[in-house]
């Protein structure tokens, strides 16, 4: 109830504040905060109280609220009507949609996101809290800490909101008893100990009567903390803003005339000034900031949140979706990310479906390569699941057709968040927070059973057999061939150019009268390995057989050229282990994944990115780069002829070929 005393005291207090020297509106700090709590905990009433007591509403608005309260038969002016804008909200006296409200005091500007308390509106809270720096979680003093109180605390920490205020509301209905407030503090602190909470404050209030909202309450002399508004005015603002890592997603290119070419967008994080060295992703080309331009002209510096146009000292092809960063402060780059998503669509997640992923200004095709678990928000337990439904939160691995340039969400919200869009309906189906590059499932599912280790490759032989030595020894063959036998093991991603280089090398060796033997992974699967699939065990057996055949070819004095993806170091180590020292050459065919995908000679990447091929190396299955290869060749930087010459020179230096 709005008593005459409360109203008068509040107006006097605000009048005194208003008499203070006013600051420039632009110089006043902005705090974005969200409210959450269980149904009927008083969120909308609290916001209405803040708006009313800060004189942020017009007289006609207040008259409309008074009239609506009277028509409903309320015995008091229901300030919740100031924020509950939907008809259904007013009829049911609940919040359904996210309502954004704005108000200001002489010390600070505020943007409030009033989010619903129902379980089925979890997605709405995630939306409203995604940009907040502070969350007010309301608890009904009569009910104490309930499941929804915990749920919203968990979501607030999941979204890395740095400041948490637990407002114990409706203290007037429990006679302002300190014991009840203290018990709620103890219960919530016990729960919060399980979370990663940076800053948490407890304030006893009555939103309806105004106790400890703007003015100190005479009804709770035992409370010596600040009022809610005082805390909102003085809490540290900008603590969650990343002013270190400069990230500038390009929104559009500005070319008003032949003499000006700038790149427009909003600085996602960090700061920048003319003269600083930058690099542009995905091209990787470097340049220097020539100028920082706004409507007011050229600026000496721009910071996170500023919408600017950057011009560069060099002519570089840049378009929407590219990102400009500092040369010595780079984001992570990957087309496989580990993320937590909140499913926002009434249509459940399709594990085999393809979506659009929007990250900053970049939009790429993506699919969920693995759903690790869903999180029971009530208990915080992790559960195995095949899909996610509306409002469910889960840990996923996402694969994209083109790489993302990102930071972890916990250090940079703007470059660590994304949305998934249904390509057919163009509706947003999920919001996500990036935890980093994708990792193996054993690193992700702590509650799952220990996954089976990749089976080791072991040599096999039948019983009651003896190795037969031929009539011509290896030494005799090498003298006759005038070169030594060796195994050249080409390893790299599909499309990296392994077979292309190996075939060209074999032609050059043949012209030098060398004895060669070429083994290709696909060829072996046409016959010798035709009975094998692509499970871990079958992949191991595929490489075991290939290595044994290579050993036989080597035993006849040949230079054996083996072209296999062989993504795991253990596989390549096995092939090395069955050959004499110095006769096995691990050749790492290094090539950027994007180049491999553009080449895609067999169309395999396209199928894998559509989800048609599971466990495809480089997309949904890892590739372990060689730890200490004898030769590294870069097929995206050098021609095949140059690479072949490099390998020939190395074989001569190692004594395999005569000088």
Give catalytic residues, as residue numbers: 566
**Residue 365 Cα distances to 139, 422, 423, 429, 519, angstroms:** 42, 10, 9, 14, 36
For the chain, how many residues are written? Answer: 659
**CA separation for the pair 545, 538 (Å, rounded):** 11
HEC assignment per residue over 230-296 = HHHHHCCCCCCCCCCCCEEECCEEEEEECCEEEEEEECCECEECCCCEEEEECCCEEEEEEEEEECC
**CA separation for the pair 478, 556 (Å, rounded):** 9
Which 3 state secondary structure label does DSSP give 298? Answer: strand
In whole angstroms, what separates CA 642 from the centre of its chain?
Answer: 40
Tokens of 482: 């005038």
Termini Cα distance of the chain = 99
> 625, 631 in Cβ contact below 8 A?
no
**CA separation for the pair 37, 167 (Å, rounded):** 10
**Residue 615 Cα distances to 74, 536, 539, 541, 653, angstroms:** 63, 10, 11, 17, 39
**Burial of 628 (C-beta count, 10 Å sphere; 0-12/13-18/19+):** exposed
> 485, 478 in Cβ contact below 8 A?
yes
> 146, 127 in Cβ contact below 8 A?
no
567 Cβ contact list (under 8 Å, min separation 6): 491, 617, 621, 622, 623, 624
**CA separation for the pair 427, 390 (Å, rounded):** 14
**CA separation for the pair 144, 188 (Å, rounded):** 9
Strand-pair partners of 165: 136, 201
Neighbours of 186 (CB within 10 A): 10
Strand-pair partners of 477: none
β-pairing, 559-563 with 516-520? parallel
């Amino acid at each position: 109830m709005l008593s005459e005393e409360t109203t008068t005291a509040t107006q006097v207090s605000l009048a005194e504040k208003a008499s203070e020297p006013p600051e420039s509106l632009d110089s006043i700090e902005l705090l974005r905060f969200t409210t959450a709590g269980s149904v009927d905990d008083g969120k909308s009433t609290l916001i209405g109280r803040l708006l009313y007591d800060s004189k942020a509403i017009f007289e006609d608005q207040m008259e409309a609220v008074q009239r609506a309260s009277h028509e409903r038969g309320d015995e008091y002016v229901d300030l919740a009507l100031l924020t509950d804008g939907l008809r259904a909200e007013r009829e049911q006296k609940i919040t359904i949609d996210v309502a954004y409200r704005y108000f200001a005091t002489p010390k600070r500007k505020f943007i409030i996101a009033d989010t619903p308390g129902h379980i089925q509106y979890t997605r709405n809270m995630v939306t409203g809290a995604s940009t907040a720096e502070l969350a007010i979680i309301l608890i009904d003093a009569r009910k104490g800490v309930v499941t929804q109180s915990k749920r919203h605390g968990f979501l607030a920490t999941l979204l890395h909101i740095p400041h948490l205020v637990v407002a114990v509301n409706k203290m007037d209905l429990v006679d302002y008893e300190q014991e009840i407030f203290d018990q709620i503090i103890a219960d919530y602190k016990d729960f919060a100990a399980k979370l990663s909470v940076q800053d948490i404050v407890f304030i006893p209030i009555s939103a309806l009567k105004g106790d400890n909202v703007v003015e100190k309450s005479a009804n709770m002399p035992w409370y010596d903390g600040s009022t809610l508004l005082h805390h909102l005015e003085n809490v540290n603002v900008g603590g969650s803003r990343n002013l270190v890592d400069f990230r500038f997603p390009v929104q559009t290119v500005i070319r008003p005339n032949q003499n000006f070419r700038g790149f427009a967008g909003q600085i996602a994080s960090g700061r920048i000034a003319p003269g600083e060295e930058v690099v542009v992703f995905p091209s990787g080309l470097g340049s220097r900031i020539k100028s920082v331009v706004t409507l007011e002209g050229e600026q000496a510096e721009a910071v996170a949140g500023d919408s600017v146009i950057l011009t560069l000292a060099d002519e570089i092809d840049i378009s929407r979706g590219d990102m400009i960063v500092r040369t010595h402060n780079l984001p992570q780059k990957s087309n496989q990310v580990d993320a937590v998503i909140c499913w926002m669509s009434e249509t459940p997640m399709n594990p085999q479906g393809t979506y659009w992923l929007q990250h900053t200004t970049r939009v790429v095709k993506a699919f969920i390569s693995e759903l690790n678990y869903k999180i029971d928000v009530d208990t915080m337990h992790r559960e195995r699941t095949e899909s996610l439904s509306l409002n469910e939160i889960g840990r996923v691995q996402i694969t994209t057709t083109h790489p993302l340039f990102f930071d972890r969400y916990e250090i940079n919200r703007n470059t660590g968040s994304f949305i998934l869009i249904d390509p057919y309906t163009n509706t947003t189906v999920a919001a996500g927070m990036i935890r980093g590059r994708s990792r193996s499932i054993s690193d992700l599912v702590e509650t799952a059973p220990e996954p089976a280790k990749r089976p080791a490759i072991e040599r096999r032989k039948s019983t009651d057999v003896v190795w037969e030595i031929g009539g011509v020894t290896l030494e005799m063959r090498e003298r006759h061939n005038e070169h030594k036998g060796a195994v050249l093991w080409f390893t790299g991603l599909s499309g990296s150019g392994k077979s292309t280089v190996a075939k060209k090398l074999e032609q050059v060796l043949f012209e030098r009268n060398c004895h060669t033997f070429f083994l290709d992974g696909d060829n072996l699967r046409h016959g010798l390995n035709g009975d094998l699939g692509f499970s871990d065990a079958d992949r191991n057996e595929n490489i075991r057989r290939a290595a044994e055949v290579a050993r036989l070819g080597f035993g006849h004095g040949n230079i054996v050229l083996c072209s296999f993806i062989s993504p795991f170091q253990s596989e390549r180590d096995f092939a090395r282990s069955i050959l004499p020292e110095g006769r096995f050459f691990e050749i790492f065919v290094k090539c950027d994944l994007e180049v491999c995908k553009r080449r895609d000679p067999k169309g395999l990447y396209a199928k894998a990115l559509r989800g048609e091929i599971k466990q495809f190396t480089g997309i949904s299955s890892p590739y372990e780069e060689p730890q200490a290869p004898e030769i590294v060749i870069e097929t995206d930087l050098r021609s095949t002829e140059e690479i072949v010459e490099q390998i020939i020179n190395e074989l001569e230096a190692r004594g395999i070929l005569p000088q």
